[in-house]
Structure 1
Amino acid sequence: MPWGLLKYGFSKKYPARQDIPPNKELKNSYDVIIIGGGGHGAAIAYHLARYHGITNVAVLDKGYIGGGNTARNTAVIRSNYITPESVDFYKESVELYKQLSNELGYNMLYSQRGQLTLAHSDASMRTFRLRAEVNKQCGVRSEMVDREQIRELVPCLNLDKNARYPIIGGLWHKDGGTARHDSVAWGYAMRASQLGVEFHQRTEVTDIKQSNGRVTGVVTNRGTVNCKDVVQAVAGMSTIVAKMAGIQLPIRTFPLQAMVTQPLKPFVDPLVSSAALHCYISQTARGEIVIGGGSDPYELYSTRSSLDLKEGLIGHLLEMFPFLSEVKLLRQWTGMTDMTPDYSPIMGETPLQNYWIDGGWGTWGFKATPIAGKRMAETVARGRAPDQIRPFSLSRFRTYHLSNEAGATAASH
């Protein structure tokens, strides 16, 4: 083994495959242009090519594949939401995640370990009971648990009744889990490329051409390209890109920070979260503790990290796991969340006939990657949104048929 690695290191010709072909020259036109090369953009491209036979597709990203919010999340997967339409939507996404490694022939490192959301008040317990019943009605495995059940699930959790925020119960979601975010983006991109989709990295969209209520093409830093349809899937930059098309979105963008510790021996298997403490954690296969919390309280198009958030998040973590006080942090990072007023995504039609949007995901875009790819590809191929994503249409903000998920976050905003 060491001799083989040494030969590989000094070899002038590497046998490793190249998953994504290098940038080609942009063609004059494509059937579909997807703006955004993250998990959603790659998933849409894959589903268009494999299940709808649309392969003349270009995915444009101003950075690199999976380098935006896909690379900056905490990789949590779950379906324990509040409204029936959201529960059904994310339930199918979880089912797709279970088969995704086989679907793409690429190891997603998917691990279904369950999620425990802690309740520190009677009000939280009442809310959790409602969520548990809605989840059960929709076929999602969620149930209320008491302190003794919590002790069995996470023995090292601080269950002191005299704690500042004593734990009185919780919501146990058996379907919760994690997957490797980079693998999801690269798996979809690799298979889409093999089916004929072109991925153009370092290709920034600077304007969107339109005529008579339709998009006719996009202007990039590498030239202008014509197209029949455009899909926008750019996460935190949703409002900026939509403005190029003359569309105003009800979205505000906030930084969302997270951090990870040095590796430790395994001590917690489920994902553990507390909305009251604005904190959640999970332990990776390498032993690192991934720590996340709520969004920053101010709007900003930035991925810088802050000491204030770090100190507050660590303080809340130690409320739950005091013995971690001497553990060292390895790194801290930030993504950009595109939040809608009702905390649900915007999917489907826009005022432009052939301009489709996939945005407004806030803190749960990664969870929806497979189902968003499937349903948005169906939308483009058929020219209309399927029934499953109609509750998330942009028009709901005009008709006030909102889908309120404001209390469904693992760490409240």
Structure 2
Amino acid sequence: MTHTEQNLSLKSEALIAKENQYGAHNYHPLPVVLERGEGVHVWDVDGKQYYDFLSAYSAVNQGHCHPKIVGAMIKQAQTLTLTSRAFHNDQLGPFEEYVTKYFGFDKVLPMNTGAEAVETAVKLCRKWAYEVKGIPENQAQIIVCENNFHGRTTTIVSFSNDENARKSFGPFTAGFIKIPYDDVDALEAVLKSTTTTIAGFLVEPIQGEAGVYVPSEGYLAKAKALCAAHNVLFIADEVQTGIARTGRLLATCGNCDCKKGCENTPEVKPDILILGKAISGGVYPVSAVLANDAIMNVIQPGQHGSTFGGNPIAAAVAIAALEVVKDENLAQNAAYLGEVLRNGLNEIAARNPIITLVRGKGLLNAIVVNCDEESDLAWNICMKFSEYGLLAKPTHGNKIRFAPPLVITETQIHECLAIIERALNDFR
């Protein structure tokens, strides 16, 4: 089913047409026009209710329009919104103290978006390499993984496998070595052969955009140990996987206090931690890079920054968002309900061969649809989901992510499983 085949109201059609006429065509959204959200639900302009099973790519882990987070934003917006970093403000210091203690690091560098945070981590890693490790200037290299997704800035797409994100955007930034994901031997081989110029290893604990690819048990711990042995920084991009999404505070599980669901996974504390999305509960753009003093102190005044990074609203919102995660036990909820969801999806797969694989951790999950990546079957399935009141989106052609807000209940999970099976049965 295409956009034109979807039965849209005149109001929805008009709003979509306005976007198409006046906006850049850099996204391909489902033809659903949303106007309101609360908890796990969103409503379109015609009043139809949906379960949100994307959560703005895991930005609204705390649920849509959480009253505590929205309240913090409104209160701060009525007092002081922006000072730039030319002056101090009364919210930044408390946020920096809160977030560093929350995740167990000495310092934080606040930014706005996930891609900005990744760029910040790359700069920080390189500067540490030259000034601390002693790599000759302009020779530092960072190891990355194939099929990664860290954003779409020029530097980041320089080491992407996504040709759609790369074509006609060169020349690209040098200094990156790509290896297969979930391959400790490949990492070790590069570290041994070029250790004098390797500054860091940038990795997603779970590759979300690639279709929720969960690595082998122990992969992250082994990778971190190899990096430590070769004096290479282990950089974890937890923009999507962090903030309780995978059933623990961080997918890397370093210094977390949510042990339920974590017992069988070794703890891995990154040298540099990248956060975004749910650090603000989807209410305001906030991202952060955390590291200890030995790394973060290489950054001096004038060498990196952002007018909006660390602004008073962002600071107040982020504290509230992180408090909600802890107070409402969202990591534990994600761990338990993730099992419920995957068990239900596997039961559906046993009855319907259109699902060839179920994978995930916590409430970051995906199904692989029985078709090739060029097929429009997964898109059509998502259109059918929306018809029945659930919103999800394909990735890499034949994979569909299921990532509801972490405030969802077990009863709601079962309701959503019923919707999913009903839709899939239409394609038997």
* Between structures 1 and 2, the one with greater strand share: 1
TM bin (shorter chain)? under 0.3
TM-score between both structures, scaled by the size of structure 2: 0.22
Q: What TM-score do you get using the length of structure 1 for normalisation?
A: 0.22
Q: Which structure has greater helix proportion?
A: 2
